[in-house]
Structure 1
Amino acid sequence: MRPGDGTGLGDEKQPGFTLPRGATGFFSPQDGPLPEMELRTLRTGLYAAARAAGGKVGELEERVYPRTFHTAALVDDTGEHILLCHAHHPYIAFVRERRHWYTEEFLTPPPWARAFEQAGFVVLGREQLGMPLTDVDTSVLSQGEWREIRFYGVTTLGGVLFNAWD
């Protein structure tokens, strides 16, 4: 897939985004558990991306509650690239530094990030992650999730996906 085709790669205007159940990391027990992104799947994507970048896989930090994401690094000849992998859905995002949550600090994915798509991930771009929630289909969100969003002052798609609310 190429920039502008809905993958999030690049910074062209992206189509709207529909949040899936569990995007915030919260769930109702009566709805059953959320899907889990296996670390094995993330490692597969990381090694494919490292080969594409001519680099190597750096530290992989498994998510710890209340974070909704795993954090990993890929090192190439331009330096260290920090990426986030949503714990429940196959979303990848790039950031400058490791933190406990993010709102608008996302980067444009490097060209080699397309390798993650071959492993079944969706690479989200800076513009898409910065999309205001008013442009996102949030119909799946519960009242409790909206309460958290308002409490933490989150206004972007990236802030909803990559958080550490409790």
Structure 2
Amino acid sequence: MPPPPFPLPPGATGFFPPHAPLPETDPRTFRTALYTAARAARGRVDEVEDHVHPRTYRTGTVIHPAGRTVVLGHLHHPWIAFVPERRDAYADEFLSPPPWADVFSAAGFLVLTGDQLSVPLAGEASSGLTPFEWRQAVYHGTATLGGAVFNTWD
């Protein structure tokens, strides 16, 4: 299993790090990349949902010849993940990027793999989390990197 491409920075879970506001990703960039990806997949966009509190991500569903793929776009970092269905919480349901995922990379996003997001929430990958974020992870029973990054903690 390949390691994640980064240690999670403080605030990756959507909770503000001390004395610093979280960055915001542009919803228009996500939406544009989503529609471009749907065209590349010879499909269409079915649903787009921007931020719904307390989610740390926005979603879009691409209907394509092979089926349906839900795209998660992190609100605070330019990270993209793929899942089979819309849910309020994710643990290890992350998919490998589809062939059309390179559209998101070209738009400036970091496309994460299912293997990277399924890494246990421990060690170097999660070393940047604040003590508060760790308490939230424990409280919500989050055990994977993807579950911590794409969450609905409140």
Q: Same fold (TM over 0.5)?
A: yes
Out of 1, 10, 14, which is 1:25 matched to?
14
Separation in 2, partners of 1:46, 1:102: 20
How far the C-alpha of 1:92 sits from its partner, in A, is 0.8
CA separation of 1:31 and 1:103: change in aligned 2, threshold 3 A: same
**Which amino acid in structure 2 is aligned with residue 27 of structure 1?**
F
SS in 2 for 1:60: strand
SS in 2 for 1:41: helix
Separation in 1, partners of 2:43, 2:124: 35
Separation in 2, partners of 1:75, 1:157: 27
**Which amino acid in structure 2 is aligned with residue 81 of structure 1?**
T
Is 1:88 matched up with 2:65?
A: no
CA deviation string 1:35-89 (max 9, x = no partner): 1111101012112212221222221111211110101111112222111111111
SS in 2 for 1:134: coil
Contact 1:16 1:135 in 2 (8 A): no
Contact 1:16 1:136 in 2 (8 A): no
Out of 100, 103, 109, which is 1:115 matched to?
103
Contact 1:18 1:137 in 2 (8 A): yes
**TM-score w.r.t. structure 2 length?**
0.92
| Counterpart position of 2:135 | 147
How far the C-alpha of 1:25 sits from its partner, in A, is 0.4
How far the C-alpha of 1:32 sits from its partner, in A, is 2.8
| Counterpart position of 1:40 | 28
How far the C-alpha of 1:15 sits from its partner, in A, is 5.1
**5+ residue gaps, structure 2:** none
CA separation of 1:64 and 1:144: change in aligned 2, threshold 3 A: same
Contact 1:13 1:127 in 2 (8 A): yes
**TM-score w.r.t. structure 1 length?**
0.85
**5+ residue gaps, structure 1:** 1-11
Separation in 1, partners of 2:4, 2:123: 9
Identity %: 52
Contact 1:136 1:157 in 2 (8 A): no
Separation in 1, partners of 2:103, 2:48: 17
Q: Which moved more, 1:77-86 or 1:113-122?
A: 77-86
